[in-house]
Amino acid sequence: MDKINSIKMERVSFKSGGEDILKNINVEFEAGYIHTLIGPSGAGKSTLIKLINRLIDPTEGRVLINGIDINNFDVINLRRKIGMVFQQAHLFDGTVSDNIKYGPLLMGEKNIDVKYYLNIVGLEESFQNKNVSNLSGGEQQRISIARTLANRPEVILLDEPTSALDPTSTQLIEELILQLKNKLNLTFIWITHNMEQAKRVGDFTYLVVGGELVDCGRTGELFENPRKEITRLFIDGKLTGGKSK
């Protein structure tokens, strides 16, 4: 698999149990940026990003990487190149080090510099031997990011990574992601419920409502100067009934 330059969705729909969860999504995410996804609860944001690492497949349409249908890539390989961090960090039983080694060990890589990854996410080296059951929420989330980084991905999908965290931990994670983008030239597709966060971190922002991509643009423009009524309503917190009909 070549270096990822773009991730594109073409007329993507996702149905489940007779319900349209995503409808005719056309979008392109360019590499090297932070793309923030916003929208009401139940709009289909999580569903949309799961299509990118093939945790699910679309019922219609295609997802393309550098113009190639992602079904052409080996799914395991794809998921290593496109990592994912969930809202609720799930750490596997064992030590911090066991967790960071998890992905590489699956591929038989044994020499993993755990300290390096701890360092990237701003945790002391002494963490490596700690048991995961004694960690704060913020620490757990940083370790789950370190664990994803250990697979050396090019793109990371973030599903509300800070919404379960306090403001200090949230700020730490935001700074961390911005650093990763700049230093490692990673691409992020980041779901957030926090408008201020989207403004702070996003290069581009996408608004999903009722399973449809209703607006997108440069983050500054979208927030300061929304062209669409629905976007203005959502930003002002006046949009109701976001769930797909």
Structure tokens at 20: 């349209």
Instruction: Tell me which of 16, 26, 71, 126 binds ligand ATP, using CB under 6 A.
Output: 16
Q: Which residue has the tokens 């449809």?
A: 212
Report if residue 106 touches other proteins, rule: CB under 8 A: yes
Three-class secondary structure of residue 165 per DSSP: coil
* Piece of 12-20, 42-50, 78-86, 221-229 that binds Mg ion (CB under 5 A): 42-50
Distance CA 121, CA 159 (A): 18
Three-class secondary structure of residue 34 per DSSP: strand
Name which of other proteins, Mg ion, ligand ATP, none residue 42 binds, using a CB cut-off of 5 to 8 Å depending on partner kind: ligand ATP
Report if residue 47 touches Mg ion, rule: CB under 5 A: no
Instruction: Tell me which of 107, 184, 221, 225 binds other proteins, using CB under 8 A.
Output: 107
* Piece of 46-54, 88-96, 101-109, 167-175 that binds Mg ion (CB under 5 A): 46-54
Tell me if 191 sits within 8 A of 49, measured CB to CB.
yes
Taking the complex as a whole, the smallest distance from the CB of residue 103 to other proteins amounts, in Å, to: 4
* β 204-209/82-85 pair status: unpaired
Report if residue 15 touches ligand ATP, rule: CB under 6 A: no
Of the pair 108, 237, the CB lying nearest other proteins is at 108
Taking the complex as a whole, the smallest distance from the CB of residue 85 to other proteins amounts, in Å, to: 8
Give me the 122-151 binding string for other proteins, x by CB under 8 A, dash otherwise: ----------------------x--xx--x
Distance CA 63, CA 7 (A): 7
Amino acid identity for residue 35 in this structure: H
Structure tokens at 215: 């607006």
Query: Cα dist. 68→9, 62, 65 in Å?
Result: 11, 9, 5
Distance CA 233, CA 32 (A): 30
Instruction: Tell me which of 3, 18, 41, 90 binds other proteins, using CB under 8 A.
Output: 90
Instruction: Tell me which of 17, 18, 67, 108 binds ligand ATP, using CB under 6 A.
Output: 17
Of the pair 120, 239, the CB lying nearest ligand ATP is at 239
Rg of the chain's alpha carbons, rounded to an integer? Answer: 18
Taking the complex as a whole, the smallest distance from the CB of residue 16 to other proteins amounts, in Å, to: 6
Structure tokens at 154: 């090019």
Instruction: Give residues with Cβ within 8 angstroms of 194, minimum separation 6.
Output: 162, 163
Residues at the interface with other proteins (CB under 8 A): 16-17, 53-57, 75-77, 79-80, 83-84, 86, 88, 90, 92-93, 102-103, 106-107, 144, 147-148, 151
